[in-house]
A = this chain, B = another copy of it.
Amino acid sequence: MKNIILISAFILLGCNENKLNLKKEITHDFGIVIHGGAGTILKKNMSDEIELKYRNILEVAVKAGHEILKNGGTSQLAVEKSINILEDSPLFNSGKGAVLNSKGYAELDASFMDGKSLNAGAVSGAKKIKNPISAAIKVMENSPHVMLSGNGADEFARQQNLELMNADYFITERRKKNLEKVKSIENISKKTSNKINYDEFYKSQLYGTVGCVALDKHGNLAAGTSTGGMTNKKWNRIGDAPIIGAGTYANNLTCAVSSTGWGEFFIRTVAAFDIAALMEYKNYKIEDAASLVINDKIGKLGGNGGVIAIDKKGNIAMEMNTPGMYRAHMNSEGKILVKIYKDE
C-alpha cells in the first residue's frame, strides 16, 4: 500500500513537471523580437513624452516585422524592415541619430545572418549608407565576401543602388552635445586620474545599438544588428555589431541572437555564438543560455549590455545586466510586449 502511494506520487509529480515543461516550451509558429539598445536607461532621467516616443517607435517597428511574418514572409525580410524603421528614427544609435566618433561624424556598423544557410554579411565603418542592415544583406547576397569596411563598404552599397546620404544626414544636435560632453569627461579624467568608467553619463555613451531576431513560418531564423558604435570612438574602431558570433548569430539548429552593449566585451566573449553553443552542446534553454552569457561571462569581465534571442520553437530571451533595454516582442498570436526598464 505504501509503495502504491509512493508510485502514485511519482506519477503525479512527473505529470506536473511535464505540464510545466509544456508551458515553458509552447511552440509558436513564428515570432519576432527587437531591441533599441541596452544601457543606463533610468525612469528618473526620462520624461513621459520621450518615453512615449520610444514605446511608439518600438511598437511600429515590431509590428512591421510581425506583419511580414504573419503573411508568410521570410525572417530575413522581417529583420531588415524592422531594423530599417529603427535606423531611420533619430532616437536610436544607428543610421540617422547614430553617435559620433572623435572626429564628429558617424561610422556605421551592421551585420546580418541567415540561420538556414549560415550565410552572413556585414559592413563596418560605413559613412554614407542610409540603412546599413540592408547593405549587410547585400554583402551576403551579392559579394563573395562576408565583411566589407570603410570607403569600400560605401562604394559597394553605391554599386548595389542602395541609398547613400552625406555625413550631415546622420548627425543630430543631441549626439553633437553628447560628443562634447564625453570629450570633456575624458579630458578631466586625464588630468585628475578619476576612474572614468564610474561616470554614469560616460557609461551611457559606450553603447546603443538596434537589432532584430525573427522566426518565420518556414521555420527559418534570422538575426540582424545595426549601430553607430561608441561615442568619441577613435582610430576607425570596430565594435561587436558587425562581427558574426559577437553581435549577431543565427542557426536554424538553435537560435538567432542580436547583442547590444559595450561591444569590446561581446567580442571577447563571442557572446552571440556562445548562446547558440550552450543550447547546441549543453541543451540549455534559451533564457538560461542568454542569462549565463550576459550575467556570468560578460558581467564577470566587467562588461555591460543585453541580448535578444529567439529559438526554433519561438521561445525568446530578452536579457540584460543594465538598468534598461529598449525592447519589444510579438508572437504568432499577435500578443505585443513593449518594455524599457529592466524591472518592467
What residues of chain A have their CB less than 8 Å away from a CB belonging to chain B?
113, 118-120, 124-125, 143-153, 155-156, 233-239, 243-246, 249, 263-264, 267-270, 273-274, 277-278, 281-282, 301
- Chain A facing B: main interface SS: mixed
Which of chain B's residues has its CB closest to A249's CB? B270
Q: Give Cα A108 to B249, complex, Å.
A: 26
B120 touches A237 (CB 8 A): no
B144 touches A125 (CB 8 A): no
The 10 closest A-B pairs by CB, nearest first: A152-B236, A152-B235, A245-B270, A281-B281, A277-B277, A147-B238, A270-B273, A156-B235, A148-B235, A245-B245
A84 to chain B, nearest CB (A): 22
Besides A152-B236, A153-B236, 7 more A-B contacts (Cβ < 8 Å) are A118-B301, A125-B150, A145-B233, A147-B239, A152-B234, A244-B246, A270-B273
Q: Give Cα A25 to B330, complex, Å.
A: 50
16 contacts between A and B (CB under 8 A): A118-B268, A118-B269, A120-B267, A124-B238, A125-B149, A144-B264, A147-B239, A148-B235, A152-B235, A243-B245, A244-B267, A244-B270, A245-B267, A245-B273, A270-B270, A273-B277
Give the residue of B237, B263, B281 whose beta carbon is less than 8 angstroms from that of A148.
Answer: B237
Q: Which of A125, A235, A246, A264 has the most CB of B within 10 A?
A: A235
